[in-house]
Amino acid sequence: MPLRKLKRVAKIVDAAMRDGARARSQSTDPAFRERVQSDRRGELSKFKTVQHALADRERIEKGRATRAANAAKAKTKAKKK
């Protein structure tokens, strides 16, 4: 292989390595990860199955909060007696 072509390939590989290193360093940035997560959530929330799952999660959390409130009321009633 001629030296000129070898140098050209070496430059391409070097640029690819630098680009990969930069991408890896940016992917660990907390702000970048937060933006990726919000973008992913925004895109996923468009699907009906995800919307149903989120609605189910809210319903379950509401039920837990109601049960916890009722349990707290029962404890205070029991202490008063």
The length of the chain is 81
Summarize the confidence of residues 3-13 as an average pLDDT. Answer: 92
Mean pLDDT of 63-74: 83
Indicate the pTM of the whole model.
0.41
Residue with tokens 């379950």: 60
Average pLDDT for residues 31-45, to the nearest whole number? 86
Task: Give the separation between CA 34 and CA 36, rounded to whole angstroms.
Answer: 5
Domain extent listing, the chain: 3-80
For the chain, what is the total number of helices (H) and then of strands (E)? 3, 0
